[in-house]
């Protein structure tokens, strides 16, 4: 097969080479056409098209092969294949579908078909489409009748036998015409149906493509709407945060820095005092208590009475009422001491609730109890009085079980203290046990602070993010905005963080 450049002149190309290349190209086309026919026969005879969802062969041709002529072109190729098979040994001289087309009508009469091919080969060793058409026409055309000589007697036209033959021929001719008309009608209907199916298929493809585009556009629009809704919510949150920041800045400007506590702001103190007053109003009624003793928790009533006396002493500037409130609450008779004690006692209901919830867990250990109780260590005597005897016995048993574990680790701890004696002061026995208990309980997720009160980290809050055995990695809250956010410490350098450490 020869490839030519259009810019080359005709004189620069050899005729023999070009002619051979053209013939080879057409021969290759004929071979591929024959190969396609074999594959089409497999698709039709074995009904492979049904695996793709097509109901019949015509639907497959219309849906998949419409670019190559569809069902009509496939019928032409199959007809040519049928002619080549019917021609037998002469079939090899029919090269393609165009040459076989004039011979299709002779496929049902193999003898006439072979005669037509032989006749075409006599006139031209390499017959073309026109040669096959002329040969087929000669084979199909009936032989002309011989003229009667003057000597032969003419058969009378009115002879009964000839009349019957003529009538039979007319009837046969009429039937053939009707059959041809029916075949032509069926062929036209099939062709029209194939054309209509092809047009419908094209329209369906176009509509499906358009529907796909609409779906993609709808998805993009929905995503855009979701993004806009998210931006709107973020804008609202930003406005709320800006207003809150302005309020806090205004509050900071109004109050000196020394008036702000380490654990809560002055605004939070006002809100807490307001909540305490509301709780006192709902919880205790002095008139009802004057008539009869409290029916439920007398200790709670007494504590609330002390808080009420403190408020009365503050409002009336009465020293005796202040001393009575201090006696009831168990603190010094000063406003600050009583206020601190009242603030601590506000935690008592939460402490009792949290500790009881932990003790009710199946398989509760000292570690579980201590993780909650350490937050309320300053009011231990108060919440201990609120617990039932069974609950206090359970806590005592958990502490004894913990102490047995500490005893097993005492030897290794004393050796560690001895190795560091050159740099650190020796701790007392109770301090050592406390350090060991703290080291044992510190784990990933623990909220801690530095154990050295002379370090700035003593009042800061950090979270253990990684446990390395004897050492842990701590992420400090006040380092969030700095490049260095974590640091590595031994467990005995840390303690559990408590809100009271900021005061």
Both tokens assigned to 415: 């050796």
End of a domain among 111, 127, 142?
142
The least confident of 16-25, 29-38, 197-206, 408-417 is 408-417
Q: Is residue 206 part of a domain?
A: no
Q: Is residue 101 part of a domain?
A: yes
Given this model, what pLDDT does residue 278 score?
A: 56
Question: Domain holding 450: CATH number?
Answer: 2.30.30.30
Contact 140, 105 (CB under 8 A): yes
Given this model, what pLDDT does residue 359 score?
A: 87
Q: Is residue 416 part of a domain?
A: no
Question: Checking DSSP bridges between strand 494-496 and strand 447-450, what pairing results, if any?
Answer: antiparallel
Instruction: Report the distance separating Cα 187 and Cα 199, nearest Å.
Output: 18
Residue with token string 């007398």: 298
- For residue 297, pLDDT over 60 is answered with yes
Instruction: Report the distance separating Cα 267 and Cα 261, nearest Å.
Output: 11
**CA neighbours within 13 Å on the CB side: how many for 68?**
12
Instruction: Report the distance separating Cα 343 and Cα 123, nearest Å.
Output: 125
End of a domain among 311, 345, 379?
345
Q: Which domain holds residue 104?
A: 10-142
Given this model, what pLDDT does residue 222 score?
A: 93
Given this model, what pLDDT does residue 285 score?
A: 63
* 334 lies in the same domain as 442: no
The string of pLDDT tens digits covering residues 451-488 is 888 787 888 899 998 888 888 999 998 888 777 788 89
Question: Checking DSSP bridges between strand 462-467 and strand 447-450, what pairing results, if any?
Answer: antiparallel
Instruction: Report the distance separating Cα 334 and Cα 352, nearest Å.
Output: 27
- The DSSP secondary-structure symbol of 143 reads P
Q: Look at 293 and 172; give whichever has higher pLDDT.
A: 172
Residue with token string 């800061």: 460
Q: SS3 of 449, please?
A: strand
In what side-by-side order are the strands of the sheet with 447-450? Answer: 486-490, 471-476, 462-467, 447-450, 494-496
β partners of residue 466? 473
Given this model, what pLDDT does residue 265 score?
A: 52
pLDDT confidence bin for 418, thresholds 50/70/90: very low
Q: Is residue 324 part of a domain?
A: yes
The least confident of 62-76, 119-133, 168-182, 423-437 is 423-437
Phi-psi region of 160 (alpha: psi -120 to 50; beta: other; left: phi over 0): alpha
* 326 lies in the same domain as 435: no
The string of pLDDT tens digits covering residues 331-366 is 788 888 888 888 888 888 888 888 888 888 888 888
Helix locations, 88-128, DSSP H: 97-100, 110-123
Output the 3-class SS for 454-487: CCHHHCCCEEEEEECCCEEEEEEHHHCCCCCCEE
46-55, 178-187, 482-491 — which one is most confidently predicted on average? 46-55
Instruction: Report the distance separating Cα 276 and Cα 254, nearest Å.
Output: 25
Closest CA to 429 of 449, 403, 467: 403
Q: Is residue 131 part of a domain?
A: yes
Containing 450, the helix (H) or strand (E) segment is strand 447-450
- Number of domains composing the chain: 3
Given this model, what pLDDT does residue 142 score?
A: 59
Phi, psi of 148, deg, nearest 5: -75, 135
Residue with token string 């680790």: 409
Residue with token string 């005995």: 492
End of a domain among 317, 345, 373?
345
Q: What is the average per-residue pLDDT within 150-173?
A: 60
Given this model, what pLDDT does residue 1 score?
A: 55
Q: Is residue 405 part of a domain?
A: no
Q: Is residue 187 part of a domain?
A: no
Q: Is residue 250 part of a domain?
A: no
């Amino acid at each position: 097969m020869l490839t030519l450049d259009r810019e080359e002149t005709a004189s620069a190309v050899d005729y023999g080479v070009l002619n051979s290349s053209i013939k080879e190209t057409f021969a290759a086309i004929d071979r591929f056409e024959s190969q396609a026919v074999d594959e089409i026969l497999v698709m039709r005879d074995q009904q492979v098209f049904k695996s793709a969802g097509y109901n019949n062969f015509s639907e497959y041709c219309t849906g998949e092969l419409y670019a190559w002529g569809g069902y009509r072109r496939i019928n032409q190729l199959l007809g040519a294949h049928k002619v080549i098979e019917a021609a037998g040994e002469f079939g090899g001289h029919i090269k393609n579908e165009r040459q076989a087309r004039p011979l299709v009508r002779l496929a049902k009469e193999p003898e006439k078909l072979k005669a037509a091919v032989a006749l075409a080969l006599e006139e031209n060793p390499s017959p073309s489409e026109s040669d096959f058409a002329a040969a087929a026409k000669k084979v199909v055309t009936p032989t002309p009748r011989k003229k009667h000589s003057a000597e032969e007697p003419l058969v009378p036209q009115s002879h009964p036998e000839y009349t019957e033959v003529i009538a039979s021929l007319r009837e046969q001719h009429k039937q053939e015409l009707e059959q041809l008309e029916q075949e032509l009608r069926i062929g036209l209907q099939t062709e029209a149906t194939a054309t209509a199916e092809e047009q419908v298929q094209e329209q369906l493809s176009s509509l499906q493509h358009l529907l796909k585009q609409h779906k993609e556009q709808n998805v993009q629009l929905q995503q855009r709407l979701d993004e806009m809704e998210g931006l709107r919510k973020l804008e609202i949150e930003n406005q709320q945060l800006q207003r809150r920041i302005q309020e806090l800045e205004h509050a900071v400007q109004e109050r000196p820095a020394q008036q702000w506590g380490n654990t809560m702001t002055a605004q939070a103190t006002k809100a807490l005092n307001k909540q305490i007053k509301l709780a006192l109003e709902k919880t205790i009624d002095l008139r009802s208590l004057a008539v009869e003793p409290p029916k439920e928790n007398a200790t709670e009533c007494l504590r609330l009475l002390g808080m009420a006396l403190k408020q009365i002493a503050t409002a009336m500037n009465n020293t005796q009422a202040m001393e009575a409130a201090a006696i009831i609450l168990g603190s010094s008779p000063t406003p600050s001491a009583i206020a601190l004690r009242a603030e601590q006692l506000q935690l008592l209901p939460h402490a009792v609730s949290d500790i009881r919830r932990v003790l009710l867990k199946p398989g509760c250990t000292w570690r579980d109890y201590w993780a909650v109780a350490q937050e309320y260590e300053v009011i231990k005597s108060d919440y201990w009085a609120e617990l039932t005897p069974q609950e206090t016995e359970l806590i005592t048993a958990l502490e004894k079980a913990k102490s047995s574990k500490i005893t097993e680790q005492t030897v290794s701890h004393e050796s560690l203290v001895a190795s560091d004696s050159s740099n650190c002061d020796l701790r007392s026995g109770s301090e050592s046990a406390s350090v060991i208990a703290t080291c044992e309980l510190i784990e990933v997720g623990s909220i801690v602070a530095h154990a050295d009160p002379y370090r700035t980290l003593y009042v800061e809050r950090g979270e253990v993010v990684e446990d390395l055995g004897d050492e842990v990695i701590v992420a400090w809250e006040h380092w969030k905005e700095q490049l260095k956010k974590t640091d590595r410490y031994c467990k005995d350098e840390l303690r559990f963080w408590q809100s009271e450490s900021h005061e």
